[in-house]
């Protein structure tokens, strides 16, 4: 069926370009655009946030100051206007929206003037009786460190997070707990070494009986170095098994008792996957090799995850999903990556990414620095109308290939080049990696210093190879791979 479907897609494409994506509005005016989307089932609206001041319909332009609502036919502003940040009239950004205990909240770089001299920044809740945005119970100082409300998909507790700052008169922290009516100190954070002005917490969420936290903080477990991912077991902080990188996590999603993470991490820098990975039963799954941005690998990122029609969709900046070309969006069915049709072109290179997605009225919506799709003008927000159509799918992974043990084994994952592998060591440190061919001849002896390294066998013959890794502390660790 797949060849016939693809042939039909090609024939139809000759008659009409925009058969898979539909434009939502005509874009925004100044200074950049839409950076977040939220499908609000309570008000039955698609909410958009970002740095824009106006948003355009077919026949009019609406003053919206970084937030707008689409009712299925046109954009409008959302309630009372929120002003740009005090002292900087060009700064106005809505990071995202969320609902907690039935109330709609938002966070971002904006403020409410409480009086001529006092402003409340970053946090707001919508009073849907008088249709006005209001500050939360405590004023968040305009120049304070608190920036965000998390998790974006609310659980039983909401948190205010960011850089070191104070709220409600509490001592400075990077995390405060919010119960819907008041902020509270979150005691577990006080057990982490203090005194760093650049300490940062991103998101806090519960998963399988423990509380996880993405961050950039001194390591509270062994007292040396920094960490970017921790979990609280109810009495102590502990490392997340298999997480050996400082690269940040940008998004998390929990589905069917599995934690999915997305960000800028890679196997080469100690991550459990390339830009995306799944965690369940204390094991990581690298999701078919993950995602990759070949023009500038260090600039690759997975920025959002969304569950839609049985698949996990990922968006960001990448041009490979598994081993197939992608235009910054792809979907994972549990065994392989598939790429939806759509040739995205960007306003400029700095905006060449899809930054956020959401589901509303059983449709998937995507936003980013979009200029055209398949040659048709579609600025910033688009709707997927392609059903189950795919342009290509990667090779499916077997169940035995999917799991990545974190119990001290040597992990080997193919990289998109086809002749290179990421070798992931059981822990950080100095390692010697020896590679032997099927005849027992040593073809490589490499030194590694960290959590992983890249092994290139492009100059070697096809066949089976044995890897032996040693750190001088314990017995050698072994793995096998096939050079095709």
DSSP 128-180: TTTTEEE--SS---TTSSEEEEE-SS--S-EEEEEEEE-STTPPPEEEEEE-S
Tokens of 384: 């997927």
- The answer to whether the CB of 317 falls within 8 A of the CB of 330 is no
pLDDT tens string 247-281: 999 999 999 999 999 999 998 888 999 999 999 99
Residues 242 and 279 reside in one and the same domain = yes
Q: What is the mean pLDDT of residues 165-189?
A: 94
Residues 70-112 pLDDT 10s: 999 999 999 865 665 544 444 588 999 999 999 999 999 887 7
Q: Is the pLDDT of residue 426 over 90?
A: no
What is the number of structural domains in the chain? 2
pTM above 0.85, yes or no: no
Please provide the average confidence, as pLDDT, over all residues in the chain. 87
Is 7 a member of any domain? no
CA 138 to chain centre: 29
Do 348 and 475 reside in the same domain of the chain? no
Residue 17, pLDDT score: 61
* 270 plus 418 within the same structural domain: no
pLDDT at 384: 98
Residue 340 to residues 20, 102, 141, 387, 457, Cα–Cα distance (Å): 8, 34, 44, 9, 32
pLDDT at 402: 38
If one compares 88 and 477, the residue with the highest pLDDT of the two is: 477
pLDDT interval class at 336 (50, 70, 90): very high
Percent of the chain with pLDDT over 70: 89
Residue 316 · residue 330 · CB < 8 Å: no
13 pLDDT above the threshold of 50: no
Place 195 in a pLDDT band, splitting at 50, 70 and 90: low
Provide long-range contacts, Cβ within 8 A and 24+ apart, for 435-443.
435/465, 435/466, 435/467, 435/468, 436/465, 436/466, 436/467, 436/468, 437/461, 437/463, 437/464, 437/465, 438/463, 438/464, 438/465
Task: Decide if 240 contacts 212 (C-beta within 8 A).
Answer: yes
> First and final CA of the chain: distance in angstroms?
29
Whether the pLDDT of residue 167 is over 50: the answer is: yes
- pLDDT score recorded for residue 83: 61
For residues 119-145, give the mean pLDDT. 86
Q: Give the CA count within 13 Å in the CB-facing half-sphere of 476.
A: 11
Both 421 and 327 in one domain: the answer is: no
Is residue 222 included in any domain, yes or no? yes
Report yes or no on 201 lying in a domain: yes
Residue 440 clears pLDDT 90, i.e. is over it? no
* Residue 479 shares a structural domain with residue 416: yes
Residues 387 and 428 in one domain: no
Query: How far apart are the C-alpha atoms of 273 and 264, rounded to whole Å?
Result: 10
- CATH number for the domain harbouring residue 474: 2.60.40.3080
Q: What is the pLDDT of residues 377-410, one digit of tens each?
A: 999 999 999 999 999 998 776 433 434 433 457 8
Residue 358: what pLDDT? Answer: 98
440 domain residue, yes or no: yes
Based on the fold, state whether residues 74 and 209 are members of the same structural domain.
Answer: yes
Give me the sheet containing 420-424, strands edge to edge: 411-414, 420-424, 452-456
Mean pLDDT lowest among 347-351, 408-412, 419-423:
408-412
CATH number at residue 358: 2.130.10.10
* pLDDT score, position 442: 84
Q: What confidence category does residue 297 fall into, taking pLDDT thresholds of 50, 70 and 90?
A: confident
Residue 1 lies in a domain: no
Range name among 75-89, 303-317, 332-346 with the lowest pLDDT average: 75-89
pLDDT, position 231: 98
427 vs 27, residue with greater confidence: 27
Residue 2 has a pLDDT of 38
Q: Are residues 460 and 345 both part of a single domain?
A: no
Q: Write the CB contacts of 124 (distance below 8 Å, at least 6 apart in sequence).
A: 82, 105, 106, 107, 110, 112, 133, 134, 135, 136
Q: Do 204 and 336 belong to one domain?
A: yes
Domain end marker among 368, 398, 428: 398
In a domain, 272, yes or no: yes
Task: Determine the Cα–Cα distance for residues 81 and 98; give it in Å rounded to an integer.
Answer: 18
Is there a domain that residue 153 lies in? yes
User: What pLDDT is stored for residue 439 in this prediction?
Assistant: 67
Residue 228 has pLDDT above 80, yes or no: yes
DSSP three-state, residue 247: coil
Is residue 449 over pLDDT 90?
A: no
Higher-pLDDT residue of 460 and 194 is 460
Domain holding 433, by residue range, is 408-483
Strand partners, 255: 258
Per-residue model confidence (pLDDT) at position 397: 61
Which residues have a Cβ under 8 Å from the Cβ of 187 and sit 6 or more positions away? none
Q: Measuring CA to CA, how many Å separate 421 from each of 52, 197, 304, 390?
A: 43, 38, 26, 28
pLDDT for 417: 79
Confirm whether 354 is domain-assigned: yes
- Residue 247's pLDDT is what? 95
Residue carrying the six token digits 């204390």: 282
Q: What is the pLDDT of residue 82?
A: 67
**402 SS3 class:** helix
Contact 50, 66 (CB under 8 A): yes
Percent over 90 (pLDDT), the chain: 61
pLDDT reading at 479 higher than 50: yes
């Amino acid at each position: 069926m797949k060849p016939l479907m693809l042939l039909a897609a090609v024939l139809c494409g000759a008659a009409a370009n925009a058969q898979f994506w539909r434009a939502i509005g005509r874009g925004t005016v100044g200074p950049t655009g839409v950076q977040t989307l939220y499908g609000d089932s309570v008000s039955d609206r698609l909410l958009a946030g970002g740095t824009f001041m106006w948003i355009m319909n077919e026949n009019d332009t609406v003053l919206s100051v970084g937030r707008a609502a689409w009712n299925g036919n046109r954009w409008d502003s959302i309630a009372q206007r929120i002003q740009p940040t005090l002292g900087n009239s060009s700064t106005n950004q809505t990071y995202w929206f969320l609902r907690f205990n039935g109330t709609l909240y938002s966070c971002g770089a904006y403020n409410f003037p409480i009086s001529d001299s006092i402003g409340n920044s970053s946090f707001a809740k919508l009073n849907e009786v008088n249709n006005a945005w209001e500050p939360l119970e405590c004023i968040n100082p305009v120049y304070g460190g608190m920036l965000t409300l998390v998790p974006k998909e609310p659980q039983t507790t909401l948190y205010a997070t960011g850089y070191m700052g104070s709220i409600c008169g509490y001592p400075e922290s990077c995390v405060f707990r919010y119960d819907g009516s008041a902020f509270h100190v979150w005691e577990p954070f006080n057990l982490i070494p203090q005194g760093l002005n650049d300490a940062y917490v991103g998101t806090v969420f519960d998963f399988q009986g423990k509380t996880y936290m993405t961050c950039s903080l001194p390591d509270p477990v062994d007292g040396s170095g920094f960490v970017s991912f921790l979990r609280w077991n109810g009495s102590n902080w502990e490392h997340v098994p298999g997480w050996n990188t400082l690269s940040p996590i940008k998004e998390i999603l929990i589905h069917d008792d599995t934690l999915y993470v997305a960000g800028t991490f890679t196997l080469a820098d100690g991550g459990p996957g390339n830009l995306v990975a799944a965690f369940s039963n204390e094991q990581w799954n690298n999701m078919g090799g993950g995602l990759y941005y070949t023009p500038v690998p260090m600039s690759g990122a997975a920025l959002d995850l969304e569950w839609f029609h049985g698949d996990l969709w990922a968006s960001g900046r990448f041009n490979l999903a598994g081993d197939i070309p992608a235009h910054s969006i792809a979907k994972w069915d549990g065994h392989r990556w598939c790429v939806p049709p759509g040739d995205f072109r960007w306003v400029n290179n700095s905006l060449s990414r899809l930054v956020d997605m959401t589901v509303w009225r059983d449709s998937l919506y995507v936003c980013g620095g979009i200029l055209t799709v398949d040659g048709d003008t579609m600025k910033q927000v688009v709707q997927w109308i392609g059903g189950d159509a795919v342009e290509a799918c990667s090779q499916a992974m077997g169940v035995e290939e999917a799991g990545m043990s974190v119990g001290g084994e040597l992990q080997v994952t193919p990289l998109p080049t086809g002749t290179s592998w990421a070798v992931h060591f059981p822990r950080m440190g100095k390692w010697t990696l020896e590679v032997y061919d099927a005849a027992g001849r040593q073809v490589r002896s490499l030194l590694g210093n960290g959590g992983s390294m890249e092994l290139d066998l492009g100059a070697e013959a096809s066949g089976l190879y044995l890897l032996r890794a040693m750190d001088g502390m314990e017995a050698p660790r072994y793995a096998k791979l096939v050079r095709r």
